[in-house]
Structure 1
């Protein structure tokens, strides 16, 4: 991993291994010899990282933070006209994303009606809810709406929205547990591959043997 990343840095810098070795005052082939799999000493690792303006963790393959530095390096090699064209493109994309955040997104939700004793029962629903893009979590697999009681089909109420990200996509499992809040857990029971009820119980993480997913976000209509 170290040599692969070192080689990429050398190529992106448009220099040769020998030139980098000279500028670092290393013996000839000192860097090229790392292709055999040997890693440098801590001192040399730090020197190489500083030279290429990356982290030692990146060189060792422990993170991928080099991408930003690479973008800056490539930008400097552009002509003035191409730099301006790139900046114009970036600004246009920012404008498009800001416009998208102001446009509502339609969501179809599964509705659960509170039945008492910390249990919600699944209710058939064709309800669509509109939210702005900026109000959504970055990633989720399903949206559930918790409502306080039986719904009037003509005038459905608004309950808390739970955006769920599953860590196990196998819905044939009998029960899916996921983190609801800091010290509460929601349990989804699956019957015939359909969600049938949602039960919230108190407890600590250690008491739950396996988590199949987590709440990505809770959106509360009543507090907005």
Structure 2
């Protein structure tokens, strides 16, 4: 059942990011990167069994942030892709700070949510630190690498090369940095390695499957079908 839900989530994420770009252009992708940064760092708290491996949720939505920055790099340039990365940083920092202040409030005797919010957001500072470090290293590498490969394979038919060559190394960096900071000492070594490899493999699968969507985004841009809120 988890595997079916994983593919459903994959399709939903790809559909939403395509709609966001179609309707709002660059702005839609900036919004999506912010959404992905926040949701992924909430979902990652939940550990599930996927394809006979221990895995954390959040892999799909986080991996689509690489798709968003690759679309920006492809259609709008490296500067716009970097801007999306900075927006993701700011979004995650903002949520972390605001939720820590919210948790510090003394709850009313009738309150029923404090305990549940503490479970979800009480762990967020460590998760946020891990995510920010991983985000900084991997996303900026991805933007640099996409531009690097685009200069060497500039033809439209070679989008798949620059998309996958940049993303797969970037996601390896992201997975290594994130899992060490977030989960070292939290899980046993065996579970930690399962989470590391399952996280990277699942992100790798998402990177392969998102390739048609970057071609679609390029075609929509070339056909003038993108409604950008910001010229």
When the two structures are superposed, what TM-score results if normalisation uses the length of structure 1?
A: 0.23
Structure with more of its chain in strand, by fraction: 1
Q: Relative CO higher for 1 or 2, CA cutoff 8 Å, sep ≥ 6?
A: 2
Structure with more of its chain in helix, by fraction: 2
When the two structures are superposed, what TM-score results if normalisation uses the length of structure 2?
A: 0.23
Larger radius of gyration: 1
